Every structure is written in C-alpha cells, then in structure tokens.
Amino acid sequence: MLKSIEWTGRSLRIIDQTEIPSCLVYKDLNTIEEVFEAIQRLRVRGAPAIGIAAAYGLYLGLRTLEEENRDDFIAKARHYAEYLSQARPTAVNLGWALNRILSDLSKLNSGVRILPVEVLEIAQYLHQDDIERCNKIGEYGSELIEDGMTILTHCNTGLLATTGIGTALGIIYTARKKRKKITVLVDETRPLLQGARLTMWELHEAGIPATLITDGMAAYALQKRKVDMVIVGADRIAKNGDVANKIGTYNLAVNCRYHRVPFYVAAPLSSFDFLINSGDQIPIEERSCQEITDVLGRIAITVKGANCWNPAFDVTPANLIKGIITEGGIYRQPLLKTLNKLNKITYQN
C-alpha cells in the first residue's frame, strides 16, 4: 500500500502531493522548517495526515536542541508546536496531535536527553493509531453502502489524506474489499483540484470505477438520480456537529438536502473540536488569489490583476448532515445530542 507519510528512521518521507498525478515523487524532510513548508504548500495535506506530519515535525525540531534544562526544553517544544500549528488554520488535527504530545510530555519524568526520543515514540504511536482509526471508519461506513451504489465524493480523503486507507475514501476501499460493486463520482474540487489530481489517481490505482465531473455538475448529477449517497471528509467538527471541510462541501450538502440524497461526513475523533460550540467559530483559511487565477500555478485563466475570493473551506451546518462516521461508530441526528454524549463519555484525552 502507498504511504503518504513514512518515518525512515532519520527523516520524514512524504509523497509530494503537488506532483501528483504527473509524477510520484517522494521527499525526505529533515527539519521542522521543511515540515512547515510541506504542510503550508500542501505537499502533505488532509486533516489526519498533517496532524501526523506535524508530530514528526515537532520531533525533527526538538532532536537538535541542546537545552540542558527540562523546563527550557518544554518551553521550546511549546514554541515549536505553536509555530507548526500556524501552517494551516482550519484543520483541528494539527493542533490536536501537537497538544497531545505536549500534554504527554509534561507528564513524563524522563531526563531532558531522553525527551526527544519520547516525542518520536508518541509520534509513531499516533501514526499507528491513525492507521487503525481509518480501518475502523472504513468498517462502520462500509455498512451503509449497498451493492450497486454510486457514491459522490469531494476533494481527497484517501491514502494521501491520512496515513491509513483514508476516511470517506477509506469507506469506499473497504466496501470494495467486501466485494460490493460501487462506482464513484468525483468532484474535481477547484481551485486546487484534489479530486481530479489525487482522488482520481487513487481510484485508478485501486481499480475502482470512477467518473470525474466539475464541481458545478454535481447538482445536475443529483437531479438526474445518478448519485445514491455523498460522503466527504472533515477538517474540523464543532460540538454541535457543524463541519468545516474543503470549499464546495456545503454546496453539495445543500443539493443533497434538496434532492433527498443522504449526505455523510467521515472523520476520526481527532477532527472534533469540543471547545467550540458551532461552525461560526471555526477559522476559515483564505488562500492566495493565484490558486484560482493560475491553474496548478501553470496557466492563467483570467485577466491580469483579477480580484478573487479564495476561502479554502466552508462550513456545513449539522442539520444538513445525515450522519458522521467515526472510528467509534456512526453519529446520527440529532447530532447535537449524540455528539454531546460522545463528548462526555468517549472523548476524554
């Protein structure tokens, strides 16, 4: 199986996702700055994957420290974690992984020389954990899929977006493994075309029938009854079930409601942010105009100096979501109530 992220023993090896589908290029990251750049430039992307990448990035920063004092070391770790978490503001997994490490670190009694190794071990644990969580999401989600279904998805939520089989796409892989015949309709996902570049590439590699459409065609596909179910990923989920995900997700959710087609979100529990009450509080990353005006940085599609608006994410209100598929099961409507239970019982870390 392809791995979006691999620890080589000395460096973090990533698939440079900006080069797909033209080339499969691996890149070894040796410093925290290189990890920051890779996350910011979307060489590694997908909420779960950037969480794990940041965890290793923190280690890469800490391993070169010569601090002799434990408190100084931890202060530096906080500083590095803060730095990494700025690479992308919307996905919560980034902050989640880093906070997890900081919290574990403060509880450890190890000497300062050992601490970097402990950080590496936590990163490796989180990495393995992400793989297993993906498998469980795949198991739960695939139960919703019936033989012969056509599933529409947006952006990329597969091998490349996580360190395992993926979230929404992981469900599709699992359903396929269970010999369910499925077809996937893939939104190209402008501006950065993660659907066309990454999801189509993954599905092609996996031999799963897939059809590419532009984002504006999804409504027509729904009208023509070509879609049985929509499944997308998530970058952050608020306490009430509002979901921030790749721009264009909300558009799909509205259209699913109008056409009475079930709209599901698949995400690990690390994507939940119980510190915020609703989607209104999720910071939405606005990226450069050039991502719209210059397709893949290579060809200009509009007049020079054109004004653009480029929100990278949008927020889908909980009421449009049929269910959220996690490694702990499927949370259904009323989301506010079922997630509240989750917050109280399961999600105490």
Q: How far is CA 182 from CA 33, 90, 203, 208, 310, in A?
A: 42, 31, 11, 8, 33
Applying CB under 8 A, among 71, 307, 345, 348 the residue interacting with a copy of itself is 307
Q: Which is nearer to a copy of itself, 146 or 280 (CB)?
A: 280
**Which residues on neighbouring strands pair with residue 246, listed in sequence order?**
313
Asked if residue 300 binds a copy of itself (CB under 8 A), the reply is yes
Exactly one of 235, 242, 273, 314 is catalytic; which is it?
235
Judged by CB under 8 A, the number of residues near a copy of itself is 55
Neighbours of 224 (CB within 10 A): 10
Q: How far is 112 from 115, CA to CA, in rounded Å? A: 5
Which helix (H) or strand (E) segment is 293 a member of?
Answer: helix 290-293
Q: How far is the CB of 255 from a copy of itself (least distance, A)?
A: 6
Applying CB under 8 A, among 45, 100, 176, 197 the residue interacting with a copy of itself is 197
Q: How far is CA 310 from CA 61, 113, 247, 307, in A?
A: 32, 45, 9, 10
Active site residue 104: no
Residue 193, token pair as written in the block: 């075309």
Applying CB under 8 A, among 112, 131, 208, 217 the residue interacting with a copy of itself is 217
For 326, the 3-state DSSP assignment is: strand
Q: How far is the CB of 286 from a copy of itself (least distance, A)?
A: 11
Q: How far is the CB of 284 from a copy of itself (least distance, A)?
A: 9
Applying CB under 8 A, among 201, 263, 272, 331 the residue interacting with a copy of itself is 201
Neighbours of 214 (CB within 10 A): 12
Residues binding a copy of itself (CB under 8 A) = 21-22, 185, 187-191, 193, 196-197, 200-201, 204, 209-221, 223, 247-248, 250-251, 254-255, 257-258, 292-293, 295-296, 298-303, 305-311, 314-315
User: Which of the residues are catalytic?
Assistant: 235
